[in-house]
Amino acid sequence: MKEIDCRGLGCPEPVIRTKKGLKESPDGVDVIVDDRAARENVPRYAEATGYKAEVKQEGEAWRIEIRR
């Protein structure tokens, strides 16, 4: 599964990178974020575009698994 590391980036950059990643890998991607706004906005974007998103805490960051 394609992994997109967005640690250190504030919104809207993680959402923009997620959108690009899903175009390249339409079955799904894993997005790693450490920004609370991105932790909310990336799953919201994924679900609004027909994907399922699961958020898992990994230390100081979150892994957002986005799948069809």
User: Tell me, what's the pLDDT at 16?
Assistant: 98
- Short-list 22, 21, 27, 33, CA closest to 64: 33
Angle formed at CA 26 by CA 28 and CA 60, multiple of 5 degrees: 30
Q: Which domain range does residue 57 map to?
A: 2-67
User: Tell me, what's the pLDDT at 1?
Assistant: 86
pTM of the model: 0.96
Kindly report, residue by residue over 11-66, the tens digit of the pLDDT.
Answer: 999 999 999 999 999 999 999 999 999 999 999 999 999 999 999 999 999 999 99
Active site residues: 11
**CATH code assigned at 63:** 3.30.110.40
User: Tell me, what's the pLDDT at 66?
Assistant: 98
User: Tell me, what's the pLDDT at 47?
Assistant: 98
Burial (Cβ within 10 Å: 0-12, 13-18, ≥19) of residue 24? exposed
> What's the distance, Cα to Cα, between the start and end of the chain in Å?
12
- The CB density around residue 5, as the number of other CB atoms within 10 Å, is 14
Per the structure, the count of domains in the chain is 1
